[in-house]
């Protein structure tokens, strides 16, 4: 039950829905991704911030609240022990990211999961989240590549989790999230190698090619 709820929460295609409300199919403009970065570029700052916050909130709620809510619905008189609760939170955290990356509502093609992963990290391992966020900001400012910043932040996750003395279980989770993030950025890595990756500050793509017809 926890898995199903977490997946469905993660599968809400925020970027696509916000774009549709503005008459734009974000899958047909910019990078074609439904995540916050493409929303910033193609829909504007306000829409981009909204997508970023909602996608992050999906991850945070799934990891921090979904297991508790499901437990209260299924067996309210039998609260789980701490180990079981942590296990369920981890499952919900991983699954909500998979739901975002492979949403069933868009033929299993979703975002890259960075914002949703950040929400999961904030709920499960906040010190790792802070280190990852700091890394993202520093690299993004230095390179002006959102993709490079996201990959760098992903790479430090398992190391930061280990240094912060979290459990082995959490280190494994951070490693899985790192691999998922890098895998979802394979297209960006190819563009970086070809010198065609977009930098922050580049004019946003015109919405007309992806405009929704009445």
Q: Answer with the residue of higher pLDDT: 57 or 82.
A: 57
User: What H or E segment, with its residue span, contains residue 128?
Assistant: helix 126-143
Measured CA to CA in angstroms, residue 74 lies from 80, 88, 198 at distances of 12, 14, 48
pLDDT for residue 212 is more than 90: no
What does the pLDDT look like over 126-174, one tens digit per residue?
999 999 999 999 999 999 999 999 999 999 999 999 999 999 999 999 9
d(CA 31, CA 42): 9
What does the pLDDT look like over 164-181, one tens digit per residue?
999 999 999 999 999 999
d(CA 185, CA 45): 22
Q: Quick count: other Cβ atoms within 10 Å of Cβ 83?
A: 10
The pTM of this model reads 0.84
Cβ neighbours of residue 103 under 8 Å, at least 6 residues apart? 10, 11, 12, 13, 34, 109, 110
Pair of tokens at residue 144: 């002006």
What pLDDT is recorded for position 211? 52
Residue 31 DSSP one-character state: T
Cross-strand partners of 190: none
């Amino acid at each position: 039950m926890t898995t199903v709820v977490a997946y469905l929460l993660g599968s809400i295609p925020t970027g696509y829905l916000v774009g549709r409300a503005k008459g734009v199919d974000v899958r047909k403009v910019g990078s074609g991704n439904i995540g916050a970065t493409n929303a910033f570029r193609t829909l504007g700052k306000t829409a981009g911030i909204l997508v970023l916050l909602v996608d992050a909130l999906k991850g945070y709620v799934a990891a921090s609240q979904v297991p508790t809510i499901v437990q209260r619905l299924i067996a309210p008189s039998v609260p789980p022990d701490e180990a079981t609760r942590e296990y369920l939170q981890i499952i919900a955290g991983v699954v909500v990211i998979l739901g975002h990356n492979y949403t069933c509502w868009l033929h299993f093609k979703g975002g890259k999961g960075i914002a949703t992963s950040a929400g999961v990290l904030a709920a499960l391992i906040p010190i790792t989240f802070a280190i990852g966020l700091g890394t993202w900001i520093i690299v993004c400012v230095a390179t002006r590549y959102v993709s490079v910043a996201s990959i760098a932040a992903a790479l430090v996750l398992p190391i930061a989790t280990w240094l912060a003395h979290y459990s082995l279980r959490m280190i494994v989770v951070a490693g899985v999230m790192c691999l998922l993030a890098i895998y979802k950025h394979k297209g960006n890595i190819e563009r970086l190698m070809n010198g065609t990756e977009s930098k922050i500050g580049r004019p946003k793509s015109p919405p007309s090619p992806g405009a929704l017809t009445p």
